[in-house]
Structure 1
Amino acid sequence: MTPTEIAEKLHARDVVLLAGRLLLSLIFVHEGLQLATHFEGAQKAMAVLGVGTPLLIATIALQLGAGLSVALGILARLGALALGLFCLMTAGLFHTNFASQNELLHFEKDLAIAGGMFILALCGAGRLSVDRVIAGFVKGAEIDTPIEQHSSTSETSLPV
């Protein structure tokens, strides 16, 4: 398949889903790398907040694992759901001092990111995902297999 043929088969929905996945996952991959590469400093900062080393390690693993899951479209629904729940917990546990404008802003951002992740969990990664490529190879089908049409709405969903 030539680049022109690929471009003709792409739909705006898939390109937007890819851009959204990349933008949503950027903060988690970046923060996970920052925590991992500055582990001792992160460990001290988290201890002040009452977060122990095992939870810090789990946070790093979640941010990197689920962040890359969303970015690449590998089990993106599961990664998005995990990150959405993580954002809700972070907002509720660490950003509830609404007297501080900064804390209120972090609370609202966490809620907004969680909302985006839940929408992604519902919609799926789209055609431009590693899962879609793997499904094509496993089933022996072409990557551009038709998408399912829901009879109840005019919305479409991808099998992956």
Structure 2
Amino acid sequence: MDKQAHNIATVGRILIAAIFIMSGLGKIGAPAGTQAHIAAVGLPFPVLGYVVAVATEVGGGLLLLVGFRTRIVAIWLAAFTIAAAVFFHNHFADQNTMIHFLKNLMITGGLLQIAAFGATRFSLDALRRARIA
């Protein structure tokens, strides 16, 4: 990958990470509302779901941001994003819900690109590879 492609891919990784970090921080600020929403869609154990969602979004977002274990993190976040689309954005008669469903699919597409190609040279993964070599 040339320098320009690394720069563009790095910006893309940072932007996708920011979505997860901001969403997770929003959940931290509204635990009762998030847990109620989880329960409202019929998922069991809303407190556990809340903890998993916050850990996934904040933790996974930060790991993606710095590019640590990038491929594994991207796959986890992609699975989480698809699950969120299926469980929370499945009322397709509502245009807003359909937009959120499609947004989740688009984010998943970006995450799968990251999983396929890995972190760029601007990542902790690249630093780890350089130390090993």
Quick check: TM above 0.5?
A: yes
Structure number with larger C-alpha Rg: 1
1:116 to 82, 106, 110: 110
Structure 1, unpaired ranges of 5+: 1-9, 142-160
Residue 12 (structure 1) aligned with residue 15 (structure 2): no
Specify which of 87, 98, 104 is matched with residue 104 of structure 1. Answer: 98
Q: Partner of 1:14: helix, strand, or coil? A: helix
Residue 58 (structure 1) aligned with residue 52 (structure 2): yes
Moved over 6 A (4+): none
Tell me which moved more, 42-51 or 78-87.
42-51
Q: What count of residue pairs does the alignment treat as equivalent?
A: 130
Unaligned runs of 5+ in 2: none
- In the alignment, which of 17, 20, 25 is matched to residue 17 of structure 2? 25
The residue number in structure 2 matching 1:34 is 26
CA distance in 2, matches of 1:45, 1:88: 17
Percent sequence identity is 32
* In 1, Cα distance between equivalents of 2:57 and 2:68: 14
Name the Cα RMSD after superposition.
1.5
* Residue 74 (structure 2) aligned to one of 69, 77, 80: 80
Q: Which amino acid aligns with 1:75?
A: R
- TM-score, L = length of structure 1: 0.75
In 2 relative to 1, CA 42–92 (structure 1 residues): closer, same or farther, beyond 3 Å?
Answer: closer
Higher relative contact order (CA 8 A, sep 6+): 2
CA drift at 1:92 = 1.3
| Aligned partner letter, 2:78 | G
What is the Cα deviation at residue 80 of structure 1? 0.7
SS of residue in 1 equivalent to 2:90 = coil
**Which secondary structure state, in structure 1, belongs to the residue aligned with residue 49 of structure 2?**
helix
Measured after TM superposition, the shift of residue 55 of structure 1 is 1.1
Q: Output the CA distance in 2 between the equivalents of 1:76 and 1:63.
A: 14
Report SS of the residue matched to 1:97.
coil
Pairwise CA distance, 1:41: 3.2
